[in-house]
Amino acid sequence: MSVQTKKTALVDKDVWLALCLDLGEQAAEAYRFLDGALGVIDLLVTTTCLQEVWSDLCHVLRHVVVQEGGVVDDRVEALITSIAWDCISFVREVSIVVSSGARDATLADVLRDQHADYSDALLVATAQGCSASCIVSFKESLHECLPVRCLTPYEASIAFNL
């Protein structure tokens, strides 16, 4: 009897941000991947990614308000916070949250020659630690990552036959 393991993909923050901020073509690509992946593969997200999505969303939304001539007062800040919470809630609803641990931090240090960016190295190490089939990201710096394959959402859709 053969046991078939479910495919998993560790989804990077840039994919979630593209979707949450509706960043044009990247948002459309992220949506197509996630729409096809739900219920077919396990989507993973790191606790670090959730924190970064929250922080980046709040920063971008504040910037947009100021750029459009608005003022970030208590009312606007409450709205920004509400939007960020809703986005984080959505990510948590459709994915499995995984943590980076001490073992991943040690492996990230070993990967420093391949990934100058610590967050990239930690993401790769975490993906390897949780046996993710791949990392899904728009970051070109990750597309040469080993030992874990990195794919754009479009490439992942093809690879997983979504």
Q: What is the pLDDT of residues 88-115, one digit of tens each?
A: 999 999 999 998 877 877 676 777 777 6
Q: Is residue 86 part of a domain?
A: yes
Q: Which of 67, 21, 25, 3 is nearest to 152 (CA)?
A: 25
Q: Locate 141 and state its tokens.
A: 């710096």
Token look-up 């929250």 returns: 54
Q: Percent of the chain at pLDDT above 70?
A: 92
Q: Is residue 108 part of a domain?
A: no
The CATH number for 25's domain is: 3.40.50
Q: Is residue 104 part of a domain?
A: no
Is the pLDDT confidence value at 66 over 80?
A: yes
- The rounded Cα 23 to chain-centroid distance in angstroms is 14
Q: Is residue 83 part of a domain?
A: yes
Q: What does the pLDDT read at residue 4?
A: 46
pTM exceeding 0.75: yes
Can you tell me the distance from the alpha carbon of 156 to that of 152, in angstroms, rounded to the nearest whole number? 6
- Summarised one tens digit per residue, pLDDT across range 125-153 is 888 888 899 999 998 877 776 677 899 99
Question: How many folded domains does the chain comprise?
Answer: 1
Torsion of CA 66, 70, 73, 75, to 10 degrees: -120
Is the pLDDT confidence value at 8 over 80?
A: yes
Beta 134-136 vs 96-98: how paired, if at all? unpaired
Q: Which domain holds residue 81?
A: 8-99+134-159
Q: What does the pLDDT read at residue 1?
A: 40
Can you tell me the distance from the alpha carbon of 35 to that of 82, in angstroms, rounded to the nearest whole number? 24
Work out the average pLDDT over 46-60. Answer: 94
Q: Is residue 2 part of a domain?
A: no
